[in-house]
Each structure stands twice: as C-alpha cells, then as structure tokens.
Amino acid sequence: MGEIGVSVFNMAVGRGHDLNLPLILDGIRAAKTERADVLVLPETCLQGYADFSFPEDSPGRTEQRLFYVEQAEPIPGPTTELIQAELEGSPLLVQIGMAEATQHGNVIYNSVALVNSEGVIGRYRKTHNRGEYPYFDQGADLPVFDTPVGLVGSLICYDICFPEVVRSLAVQGADLILMSTAWPMVGHTRANDFYGSRMDLCIQANAFFNQVWIAVSNHCEKGAYSTQTDYYGGSQIVGPTGSAAVAALDEPGLVSLRADVHQDVQVSRARDFFGANLLQDYRPDLYARATARAVEVKSSA
C-alpha cells in the first residue's frame, strides 16, 4: 500500500455540540491540509466527556444523564453526515468519538464512528466502561474494519488497560489501532503526573507487545468540572517497536506523520526485537485458564 499520512488531534473539548463541532471541523480541515489519510479525534469529543464526581441520585447526575439523552446521536446520524460532506473529494478517514443514541432511545453508548467520503464504514462501542454507569452502556464486540488504508482496529480509553483488546485486534490482522480517549491527570503538573505516564506506558507497551502502530487522540482541556480536572493531552503516534514517533504535550493542535504502516509492522516482526514475531510465538492454547478464572471470579461476585 505504501506510505500513508496519520494525524491525531490534541483537543480542548467543551460541553455540547455547539462548542465542539466547529473545533472538530477545524481539525478535519487541518488534517486535509496535511494530506493525511487518517485522523483520530478524542473520546466523546462531540458532546464532551462525563463528570463522575456527582453522588448517586444527585441532581447533577440526573442533569448529566438528561444531557446525554438529549445530545446523543445515532451512527450514522447528523454529525457523521456532516463529516462525510466535509470529506467529499478527500481520501481522509476520520475516527470521531461521541455519545451514541440507539433506536430505542434509552440506551446510550460511548462510541467511535469511522467516517470517510462514502459515509460510516465502521462503529465501535467501548467495551471496558463499567465505571461510566449510569451514562453509557457496554459494547460487546472487538471488530476490525477493512478500510482504504488497510485493516484498522478501534478502541476507547480504558480499553487500553486490558492487553487482550489490542491482541484481539492484532490477531485479526489490524496493523493500525486508532485510540480515542479522555485521559485525565491526577494532579496539575504534567511532567510527573502518574495517571498521564500510565497512559503513555499502556499505549507504548501494547504497541510493542503486538508490533503494531497505535494512533491516540486525547483531550487537553484544563480545570474541567467542579473537581478542576486537567486532561493530560499527550496525543501520540506510536510505532511497532513501542516508541512514540510523534507526540503532543498539553496544547491543542494536530500531530502528524507519514509511514508505510504495513511494511513497518512486517519489518518489526522480522527484525527489530531479536527477529521475533510476537504474534507467531503467541500460545493461546496455554492461556484458557486465565480466561476461565476471570469468568469464574465474575460469576461468583
């Protein structure tokens, strides 16, 4: 396939469509100017991410639930159609995070949509999000999408903490993983923030263990919610050796590179780490006990 351009957007996300949609379109236009083939946008960047500081049954929690009921959109829907129109004549593939409304109206997912000039070509619903109750339900699938830039997998934020997610996408043939996230800091000093450094560690370790590219887009707003939460930023594109090829800090903006993604993956699996192909040496026949134990613990809880 040859080289492709990959961009990720470090985005200061606001509250609601009206604030965020112009920024999203600006990011798409900037990626088109960069001649990118893929653009990753953050988690729930259309509506904004949830504030989890409200106590159960509090008015704030009720108001926020109603906010998502009112602002969630179907996929395909108005925003994906607007993005499709913006992409007319462009090869760009956009992953956008949003609160997704279902046809029944009472179930909302934390989702990403993959959109190009032909429309929605993929949708992923966050699977590891028990902590997002009562706002978002859990997804139930780890799909890989056949796109103009090859096989692509998607994940959202906390999914990266479970090594089986990226491995599941890699063994299905994905060379490029697109991660949309809303990853906060525990404090306000980016240089030594524990939460932020764990994001970097998770992304880079998963890229290395699976010898794939991972492109990550994060929020970077400051002083969010009543808790004055700062988001880490750190949107980055990590290569199959686990090193960040390019990365942002905590200011809004686009980070981009060009790479022969498929060829780099093949070379990495043939040369870079003792010539070891970690997927070839994968032994799922030995790991069933771990899965069975997890199911057993979950069932007895």
Which of 34, 45, 73, 126 does the annotation list as catalytic? 126
Rounded to an integer, what distance in angstroms lies between the CA atom of residue 79 and that of residue 213?
Answer: 27
Which of 45, 73, 157, 202 does the annotation list as catalytic? 157
Q: Identify residue 52 by its one-letter amino acid code.
A: F
Residue 89, classed as helix, strand or coil, is coil
**Does the annotation count 202 as an active-site position?**
no
Spatial contact of 232 and 193, defined as CB atoms under 8 Å apart: yes
Rounded to an integer, what distance in angstroms lies between the CA atom of residue 246 and that of residue 236?
Answer: 6
Q: How far apart are the first and last CA of the chain?
A: 48
Rounded to an integer, what distance in angstroms lies between the CA atom of residue 205 and that of residue 211?
Answer: 9
Q: Identify residue 116 by its one-letter amino acid code.
A: N
Q: Which pairing describes strands 176-180 and 150-156: parallel, antiparallel, or unpaired?
A: parallel
Sign of CA dihedral 167, 172, 173, 177: negative
Spatial contact of 218 and 225, defined as CB atoms under 8 Å apart: no
What token pair was written down for 81?
A: 């159609």
Spatial contact of 29 and 39, defined as CB atoms under 8 Å apart: no
Rounded to an integer, what distance in angstroms lies between the CA atom of residue 125 and that of residue 128?
Answer: 9
Closest to 41 measured CA to CA, from 117, 113, 122, 147? 113
**Does the annotation count 126 as an active-site position?**
yes
Residue 35, classed as helix, strand or coil, is coil
Q: Identify residue 61 by its one-letter amino acid code.
A: R
Task: List Cα–Cα distances, 238 to 212, 242, 256, 263, 264, in angstroms.
Answer: 8, 6, 11, 15, 12
* Residues taking part in catalysis: 43, 126, 157
